[in-house]
Chains A and B, each alone.
Chain A
Amino acid sequence: MSMTAVGPVPPAPHPLQPHAARLVTVTPEAPGIATYVFELADPALRARYAFAPGQFNMLFLPGIGECAISLSSDAGEPGRLAHTVRAVGSVTRAIARLRPGDAIGLRGPYGSPWPVDRLRGRDLILVAGGIGLAPLRPVVYHLIRHRPAFGRVQLLIGARVPADLLFVSEYQAWRAAEIEVIETVDRADETWTGRVGVVPVLFYQLRPDPRRTAVLTCGPEIMMRFVVYEALARRIPRDAIYLSLERNMKCAVAVCGRCQYGPFFLCKDGPVLSYDRVEPFFSVEEY
């Protein structure tokens, strides 16, 4: 219905407008993958910005485009916004060409976080495939900060080849904080003395207590399918299995419609959803 005011309606800033940010450091992680730490330019915004493990930002470069990238840093240090990016297309490759000091647009955080607070007191199995470890790293940092609040924690990490394993230099510190890090690679090389095989196979050696265990997983959908299968086979309840899903995404505010997954907008209701909610769609072909 119309309002009575007559006259031109002035434009308001669009929610898709990014905030100015600057690249602070770049840390190469693996071939084609690096971690970029950004800092918001506006000190007031920087002071206000907070995120939870599992959330993501939209990163923007003028004339090139924008894409969804998870925060991979410690949510307890929200001034330092780390994003671990795999260069695969136009925006991510352009990010890979940035130098410290360069400008970027950033907006967020968006999406549902891993429910770390609700999981206090539980045993956790984190399962990451490839770049899927990036959105789980803030969970690891959270667990380290609040270690006594959680039971046994096992972190299963899979990569195609040894050189693709992310954050390897940190595993020792994670183990020191009583997080059991178990890595595997699809294909070994001459340097590799560890396990070979796909991640879900690592489940065979676990004896989780289904009443106290929750599973948090992020990785290729096919991997997550097997993770769900293995978890269910060990009687872990459907609502204790959390997945971080990925779909094409343009707006991150539930209006572009592209990230729909059944009734969910993955930018708003996801990316983290419990398996009981996605089950009707999860095994449907090409959904």
Chain B
Amino acid sequence: MNPTPPLGTHAAIPKPALDQVLGALRDAGYTLVGPKVADGAIVYGEITGIADLPVGWTAEQEAGRYRLRPGVPGRLFGFAVGPHAPKRYLYPSTATLFRTRRTAEGFEVLPGEEAAPRYALVGVRACDLAAIAIQDRVFLDGPAPDPHYRARREAAFLLAVNCLEPGGTCFCASTRTGPRCTTGFDLALTELDEVLLVEVGSEAGAAMLAAADWRPASAFELTRARRALAEAEGRMGRTMDVRDLPDLLYERLDHPRWEAVAARCLSCANCTMVCPTCFCADVVDTSDLTGGEAARVRVWDSCFNHEFSYVFGGHLRPNIRARYRQWLTHKLATWIDQYGVLGCVGCGRCITWCPAAIDLTEELAAIRGGEPT
């Protein structure tokens, strides 16, 4: 058995030793979830070890375009984020809030979810850590903390990865949410050519790292990691000027650009589904055929959906112009008033996965009045 590293340790392990850490997590009762190749993309799914990771793969990302291609052979994490965010494990797209059963007096209320799953999320990037911190505020700091989110969140282990190869639509350097993982992880990896550097962020992380043959990282290795991260910061595919937000957008709610983007936007809601911070939901009712048992189910919703703004008498945002404006002003303006931070962590997913290739950094730049920087 190896010694348990203290908090804040920068350790180094041979790449194959990552399997020892993953094995320890599995033995501790975690379900391992990590990046893997499926359906032509790098998505999140259950993994058993290194062999399931997209080893040697990377992806080209541009507005409205995503293409897998071979990357550096042997590289475990040589890609940026794909369409899935950790959100789908901490705040699943469907959750039964509670159930009801008919009784002689009326009805009784029964719990909805069984015990929360314990996920070890592998390969979480800095932008997604920032997104998790944001969703913590949404679900845990509000007037009524959400017990479903809390249970999954407290049970989760976050094995983060520093991004050395930002994607074509990334701009976390602009939103100051990456590419380095600074907080909120149990363990954070930096992948160098022959070793993995591991930073210990929690007691739980230390306990898991103790399963691997670790040694302290050398000064040389740490310098290389720092240089690689600084270089990555300069290679972001996009930038976004976040100055003067939120006021800039509040002053320009009538800007003609809203009309122009609405002419291209399909209101398909893809951007909100892939976004790691978007949290809007609907609550729907299901019941069995007799009506004796029923459930209230929360499902992801989107401000791009027609029904979202329905009140008796009509839809308040019948036009795409108003919906796109609602989305972008929420992300980049009202979010700051609500939660004290931008609602965008610069992950670029909404740009990549928009079928109309709409790029929020371009839209903001146009509304700001200058050319995209």
Residues of B within 8 A of A257 (CB): 279-281, 301, 303
Q: For chain B, give the interface size range.
A: 35 or more
B280 touches A256 (CB 8 A): yes
B105 at the interface (CB under 8 A from A): yes
Instruction: Give the complex CA separation of A105 and B110 in angstroms.
Output: 13
B231 at the interface (CB under 8 A from A): no
A251 touches B254 (CB 8 A): no
Q: Across the A-B interface, how many residue pairs have beta carbons closer than 8 Å?
A: 179
Residues of A within 8 A of B144 (CB): 15, 253, 255
B362 at the interface (CB under 8 A from A): no
B142 touches A253 (CB 8 A): yes
A1 at the interface (CB under 8 A from B): yes
Q: Which of B153-178 contact A (CB under 8 A)?
A: 154-158
Q: Which of B36-44, B232-240, B318-326, B349-357 interfaces with chain A? A: B318-326
A16's closest neighbor in chain B, by CB? B97
A16 touches B98 (CB 8 A): yes
Residue picked from B145, B146, B152, B333, most chain A C-beta under 10 Å: B146
Distance in Å from the Cβ of B333 to the closest Cβ of chain A?
8
A1 touches B158 (CB 8 A): yes
B29 touches A1 (CB 8 A): no
Distance in Å from the Cβ of A283 to the closest Cβ of chain B?
10
Q: Which of B47-55, B76-84, B220-228, B283-291 interfaces with chain A? A: B283-291
A263 touches B338 (CB 8 A): yes
Residue picked from B97, B106, B158, most chain A C-beta under 10 Å: B106
Q: Which of B68-117 contact A (CB under 8 A)?
A: 97-98, 100, 102, 105-107, 109, 111-116
A1 touches B184 (CB 8 A): yes
Q: For chain A, give the interface size range.
A: 35 or more
Q: If A11-B111, A286-B321 touch, does A255 touch B146 (CB 8 Å cutoff)? A: yes
B317 at the interface (CB under 8 A from A): yes
Contact bitstring A239-270, B, C-beta under 8 A = 1, else 0: 00000001110110111111010110100100
Contact of A256 among B28, B143, B152, B283 (CB under 8 A): B283
Residues of A within 8 A of B280 (CB): 256-258
Distance in Å from the Cβ of A83 to the closest Cβ of chain B?
16
Residues of B within 8 A of A197 (CB): none
A2 touches B338 (CB 8 A): no
Can you give 6 contacting A-B residue pairs, CB < 8 Å? A1-B158, A2-B156, A4-B204, A11-B147, A12-B151, A103-B105
Q: List 10 tightest A-B contacts by C-beta distance, closest first.
A: A103-B106, A257-B280, A8-B115, A263-B337, A63-B287, A15-B144, A286-B322, A63-B294, A12-B147, A253-B144
